Structure 1
Amino acid sequence: MTPLALAPPAMEPVTLAETRQFLRLDQTDEDALLTTLITASRLMIEAQAGRCLIEQPWRIVLDRWPAAGEIRLPLSPLMRIEEARVYDVLGEAQAVAPASLTLEMAADPPLIRVTGELPEIGRSHGAIEIDIVAGYGATAAAVPAPLRQAVLRLAARWFEQRGDVAGRDGQALPAAIAALIAPFRRGRL
């Protein structure tokens, strides 16, 4: 299974104005840097939490349907399945009927169950594409406050402590920020 981001979110979970206010910055000289840090912080928090924060489109690519009829997805929370298609022997995309795939939103990680007829697979690699939308919602207000705070605090930390980071500490989140995302982390067995 290969997840592919189709587009970035339309907005970030914290605004430039919120970040400037948090840092007590009156000037706009470093807005470009702050915008980059906000995006980088969101990506880091999403990676650490195993959650997409703001609504964003993804494509899941599979070689074949799973034997058990269940596709466990690496992204959550899942909002909806947009469409699915299977490539036939001629390389033509055949639409999968919406009723053939059922989204189990209560499962964590989210799962798609095969519940109906499916077109015949015609190639050995990348034969199935499922377009989904993941995230808490389309606006920052839909994102849980601790995750928004984690993005804000990480962006501020990177802004205030510019420079090289030595050793393995550069890959770890500061303890206070890690504590904010801990309740949202997806466990791994």
Structure 2
Amino acid sequence: MSLALTSGPAVEPVTVSEAKAHLRLDGSAEDILIASLIVTSRLHVEAALGLALITQGWRLTLDRWPPGREPVRFPLRPIAAVTSVTLYDANGDATLIPSDRYLLDGQALSPRLIPNGGWTAPGRAHAGIEIEFEAGIGAIAADVPAPIRHAILLLVAHWYEHRDPLEIGQAAAMIPAAVSDLLKPYREVRL
């Protein structure tokens, strides 16, 4: 299984202006740095939570379907839409699977693609299935819950203040506990 980003988010969950206000910065001398810290902070939060915050396009590639009539589990959440499911035969020719052959349970804690009548086996042994989908809480920054946006601002501030490279044997600057506390309600719970 592999997962590839096909189109990134159109906006970030916080703007450079919001981050500068949080940091109490004036002027535009460090706008590029602040913008990169926002992207880095969003990626950190998304990885920690298994979430896509702002709508983005992804491709999930599988060698084979799960056994029996088991659903395909997506490695991130929430899934807004499946745009296509493609099977490849032994010659590499693509066949689109009609959308009435599967159901999407995209808002579940563990989103899944459920077969409607069973899966058709791909013809090639490796990367025979491609699922194109959109993931994300919403298309605009206001769709992202305020605690997550605040955690991103805290991370931006942390990394703005701690940008020196680490030397081997030196203590690292820990991410503030408040970030983890803000993100805790959005973590996937596994039993």
Same fold (TM over 0.5): yes
Distance in 1 (alpha carbons) for counterparts of 2:59 and 2:129: 10
Give aligned pairs, total: 189
Q: Equivalent residues in 2 for 1:87-126 (5 A)?
A: 87-116=88-117, 118-126=119-127
State which of 169, 185, 188 in structure 2 corresponds to 1:186. 188
Letter in 2 for 1:78: I
The CA deviation at 1:57 is 0.5
Kept after mapping to 2: 8 A contact 1:96/1:118: no
Kept after mapping to 2: 8 A contact 1:63/1:126: yes
Letter in 1 for 2:75: P
Letter in 1 for 2:99: P
Kept after mapping to 2: 8 A contact 1:46/1:53: yes
Q: Identity of aligned pairs, percent?
A: 41
Distance in 1 (alpha carbons) for counterparts of 2:12 and 2:136: 12
Task: Please give the TM-score of this superposition, normalised by the length of structure 2.
Answer: 0.91
The CA deviation at 1:169 is 7.2
Matched, 1:65 2:39: no
The CA deviation at 1:24 is 1.2
Matched, 1:8 2:8: yes
Equivalent position of 2:130 in the other structure: 129
The CA deviation at 1:165 is 4.3
Equivalent position of 1:17 in the other structure: 17
Matched, 1:150 2:154: no
Equivalent position of 1:74 in the other structure: 75
Matched, 1:140 2:141: yes
Unaligned runs of 5+ in 2: none
Distance in 1 (alpha carbons) for counterparts of 2:140 and 2:86: 29
Distance in 2 (alpha carbons) for counterparts of 1:123 and 1:48: 34
Unaligned runs of 5+ in 1: none
Secondary structure class of the residue paired with 2:34 = helix
